[in-house]
Amino acid sequence: MIESWRWYGDLDKISLSEISQTGAGSIVTALHEIPYGEVWPTQTIAARKSRIEAAGFDWTVVESLPIHESIKRGEGDLSPLFANYRQSMANLASQGIKTICYNFMPLLDWTRTDLAAPVAGGGTCLRFDAVKMCAFELHMLGRQDAAHDYPPDVLVKAGDWYQTSSESERSALLAAIMAGIPGAFERYDIAGLRGALLAYEGVGRDEIRANVKRFLNEVGPAAEDLGLRLAVHPDDPPRDILGLPRIVSDAEDLRWLFSAFDSPANGLTLCSGSLGANPENDVPALAEEFADRIYFAHLRNVAKEADGSFEEAAHLEGDTDMVALIRVLLAEQEHRKYAGHEDHLIPFRPDHGHVLLSDHSRELVSGYPLIGRLRGLAELRGVIRGVAGS
Q: Which residues are catalytic?
A: 233, 271, 298, 351-352, 368
Cα–Cα distances in Å, from 215 out to 79, 137, 247? 11, 29, 14
Contact assessment for residue 199 and residue 73, using Cβ atoms and an 8 Å cutoff: yes
**Cα(first)–Cα(last) distance of the chain, in Å?**
16
DSSP code per residue over 51-62: HHHHTT-EEEEE
Using alpha carbons only, give the angle 20, 22, 28 rounded to the nearest 5 degrees. Answer: 70
Nearest alpha-carbon partner for 50 in 82, 27, 68, 72: 27
Contact assessment for residue 197 and residue 107, using Cβ atoms and an 8 Å cutoff: yes
**CA gap 106, 260 in Å, rounded:** 19
Rg (CA), the chain: 20
User: In degrees to the nearest 10, what's the CA dihedral of 164, 168, 171, 172?
Assistant: -100
Cα–Cα distances in Å, from 273 out to 111, 144, 352? 12, 29, 9
For residue 249, whether the previous peptide bond is cis, meaning omega lies within 30 degrees of 0, is no
